[in-house]
Amino acid sequence: MAGWKGTILEIDLDKHFSKVAPLNMDLARLFIGGRGLGARLLWDLVDPGVDPLSPENVLVFTNGPLTATGYQTSGRFSVSTKSPLTGTILDANSGGYWGMQLKRAGYDVLLVRGRSADPVWIEIRNGEVLFHDAGSLWGLGVFAVTDRLEQNNNRRNVLCIGPAGERLCKIASIMNDRERALARGGAGAVMGSKNLKAIVVEGRERPEIVDRERFKFMLYETRKLLSASPLTSQVLPEFGTVMLMNIMNNIGALATRNHQFTQFEGAEAISGEALTDKHLVGTASCWACPIGCTRISRTEHVESEGPEFESTWAFGAQCGIQDLEAIIEANSRCNDLGLDTVSAGSTIACAMELSERGYLAADLRFGQAESLHPLLEGMAFRNGLGGQMSDGSYLLAERCGHPELSMSVKRMELPAYDPRGMQGQGLLYATSNRGGCHMRGNMVGPEVLGLPKLIDRFQVQGKSSFVILHQNVSAAIDSLVVCKFTNLGVADEYFARVLSAVTGIHYSTGEMHRVGERVWNLERLFNLREGFSTADDTLPPRLLQEAPVNGPTKGWVVHLEPMLQEYYRGRGWDQNGVPTQEKLFELEIADLLEESRQAWTEQAQHPIL
Amino acid sequence: MVVLLYGKLRQIAGERQIMASGTSVRSVLNDVFTQHPWLEEAVLMDGRIRTHCVLTINGQIIIDLDTPVGEADQIALFPPVAGG
């Protein structure tokens, strides 16, 4: 067996027991690894209606057949679970070193079940699984835990939760390698609900590669392509992702003050240019990554990785804040507390609007940089005003009687790109299987940046085919698992070729896209089984009804309905958004349809959230 | 009119914005390149906007260099950017 190790390490926290089980290689061929394999395992492991924070939910950590081979950006890994924030299927993926180390330890999958009676941390080392008392770690931040458990980037890697995960905050992240995040959807709360503080991995095994000469050639080709692309060789290493701030603002697609506006007067002050000029002290990269997009930023008080574009936006334009130092420090604080920066920032923005409109009893106003630190502390520790925000913007706004002011899809806070200026992005958000997210495909490439070709961002008709393609490719890349930035320089075709070289199984480019489509449809079935329907494929009312009154997107709302109908047809789904039997048969997952039909009928009557 | 520069283009020109004149995007750019010759290499290739560079007029993305402009318009020039 090559690429895959063929093993699942199962950990039962009820009994503090572990065993190694074989990986079903038919499933591995169909779903590859990462997000896809995680979704398929989750389908069998989590019954419909399970409370995400109960012992019946599971955490499925997955790497892929390329992981630890040395292929460029193959250090990534994924966690799959049922999200406490959205109630949907969730996967989040992260870079750093931990995923590579899990593969070197000999496992494709780490499955965590049950709940420990007391706080525990797990050490996986030299074929042994050790359960340690985490009493002395409970309550500590991510940075302290990572140091105490002796993180060493190439030898020993730490994954853990912070105080937010311990307190089951529904926007809690899982952190690895100190400042890398499995950020979105509240996976940190699932880990906290299991009383699991950390997982430390050490490994020395090397994955087998079937055609080593072909693989070496693919390494060479990929290196050449990444060097030739200005995006991966210059833009990301020199300026990072925050360079998007000014362009999104210029075209009127930068969500501002809880999406009340589409341009921010302080964008220049929080831009990539400003970050580079004033705060950048170094760069870093994940394992086997030649791109190196990570920023190291310094203020008077912290030196920290990041902030990325989304985090800078969430604490910046979305909150009306143009104090870049405060934003850098808020990002760093979230990493230590184990909070998703996008959801945390956007929830604060929601609270600011609720407060300004008199719906929330607080003296909170847009632009108050000094409010960030205490609110984040309160969020993570569930106290004070911040404590009302621990579970994200939707529950906060609902408690205040105005759920429409939560800028979320399926209760997950939206990212920076305001879809009123990018119609395809609106469709992408509405149909995202894990909620409001730009990592399920991102239309900023074709709609704004001309990647690979520029299309009309305001066009509605025909947009769904681009969205479907981007979603499928995204799912395939997340299943390999490699970094999506690689795809800026390397065409999909190369991923199929390198996967074939490593595994000895022939994958064509078409088959790679079919894997992505299979994963997307499986995730759809999971959500249908949980009671979700077409009614959930929508956007906050503001984006559908309130047009900007000035700027480049003046007069535009998202014209979702026509795009949605076109999308369902393009996906091969019926008008209720349910995958047809023919489509599932074509994708080799028709056996799951009947099972899901029975369950989703029952679940629709008793939704879990 | 004002031509705004970002990222690498700002570093090349050493300025955030340039005052330039012309009646079309092409003529305005020619004025910009007269002031800062190195920018031409970074922005144009074969007489067209380079792949992945973005030019906007008042926030609308433009690819046709013959698009007319007026004194009150604002042009912005972005080098390739990426991220998520």
The tokens describing A347, both together, are 């929830």
With cut-offs at 50, 70 and 90, classify the pLDDT of residue A436.
Answer: very high
Residue B52 has a pLDDT of 87
Residues B75 and B71: their CA atoms lie apart, in Å, by: 10
Share of chain B above pLDDT 70, in %: 100
For chain B, what is the radius of gyration of the CA atoms?
Answer: 12
- Supply φ then ψ for residue A445, to 5 degrees: -60, -65
pTM beyond cutoff 0.90: yes
Name the residue among B63, B78, B84 with its Cβ closest to that of A241.
B84
| B-interface mutation test, from A243, A280, A312, A425, most B Cβ less than 10 A away | A243
- Supply φ then ψ for residue A378, to 5 degrees: -65, -40
Q: What is the mean pLDDT of residues B56-75?
A: 97
Task: Give the chain B residue nearest A452 (alpha carbons).
Answer: B52
A272 contacts B7? CB cut-off 8 A: yes
Q: Which residues of B touch A230 (CB under 8 A)?
A: 52, 79-80
Identify the CA nearest to A439 among candidates A412, A486, A464, A474: A474
- For residue A21, list its beta bridge partners: A8
| A-interface mutation test, from B17, B73, B81, most A Cβ less than 10 A away | B81
**Whether B3 contacts chain A with CB within 8 A:** no
Residues A305 and A285: their CA atoms lie apart, in Å, by: 10
Residue A350, helix vs strand vs coil? helix
Residue A599 has a pLDDT of 58
B61 contacts A457? CB cut-off 8 A: yes
Q: How far is CA A66 from the centre of its chain?
A: 20
Shortest alpha-carbon distance between residue A185 and chain B (Å):
17
Identify the CA nearest to A90 among candidates A56, A130, A61, A68: A61
Residues A473 and A494: their CA atoms lie apart, in Å, by: 13
Tell me B50's DSSP state.
P
Task: Give the chain A residue nearest B42 (alpha carbons).
Answer: A230
Residues A468 and A198: their CA atoms lie apart, in Å, by: 37
B81 contacts A235? CB cut-off 8 A: yes
Does this complex have an ipTM over 0.85? yes
Tell me: pLDDT of A602 over 70: no
Name the residue among A236, A273, A457 with its Cβ closest to that of B82.
A236
Residues A360 and A605: their CA atoms lie apart, in Å, by: 32
Q: What is the mean pLDDT of residues A213-230?
A: 96
Whether A409 contacts A188, CB under 8 Å: no
The tokens describing A584, both together, are 């599932």
Whether A450 contacts A222, CB under 8 Å: no
Q: Which residues of B touch A308 (CB under 8 A)?
A: 83
Count of C-beta atoms within a 10 Å radius of residue A493: 12
Name the residue among B8, B52, B84 with its Cβ closest to that of A484.
B84
Helix (H) or strand (E) holding A216: helix A212-228
Whether A190 contacts A365, CB under 8 Å: no
With cut-offs at 50, 70 and 90, classify the pLDDT of residue A600.
Answer: low
**Considering Cα of A235, then A236, then A242, then A247, what sign does the dihedral take?**
positive
Q: What is the mean pLDDT of residues A282-303?
A: 96
Q: Which residues of A touch B42 (CB under 8 A)?
A: none
Residues A207 and A336: their CA atoms lie apart, in Å, by: 33
**Helix, strand, coil tally for chain A in percent (to 5):** 45, 15, 40
Whether A79 contacts A182, CB under 8 Å: yes
Identify the CA nearest to B19 among candidates B41, B37, B36: B36
Whether B25 contacts B66, CB under 8 Å: yes
Residues A55 and A63: their CA atoms lie apart, in Å, by: 23
A34 in the Ramachandran plot: left (φ > 0), alpha (ψ -120 to 50) or beta? left
Q: What is the pLDDT of residues A503-549, one digit of tens each?
A: 999 999 999 999 999 999 999 999 999 999 999 999 999 999 999 99
Whether A314 contacts A342, CB under 8 Å: yes
Q: Which residues of B touch A252 (CB under 8 A)?
A: 59
In the β-sheet with B2-5, what is the strand arrangement from edge to edge?
Answer: B17-19, B2-5, B74-78, B54-57, B60-61
Residue A125, helix vs strand vs coil? strand
- The string of DSSP letters for A311-334 reads HHHHHTGGGT---HHHHHHHHHHH
Q: What is the pLDDT of residues B1-37, one digit of tens each?
A: 999 999 999 999 999 999 999 999 999 999 999 999 9
Q: What is the pLDDT of residues A313-348, one digit of tens each?
A: 999 999 999 999 999 999 999 999 999 999 999 999
How many contiguous H segments (helices) and E segments (strands) does chain A have?
A: 25, 17
Residues A608 and A49: their CA atoms lie apart, in Å, by: 6
Tell me: pLDDT of A594 over 60: yes
**Whether B54 contacts chain A with CB within 8 A:** yes
Positions of E strands within A134-187: 157-160, 174-176, 180-182
Going from the C-alpha of A216 to that of each of A1, A223, A576, the distances in angstroms are 19, 11, 47
Peptide bond into A552 cis (omega under 30): no
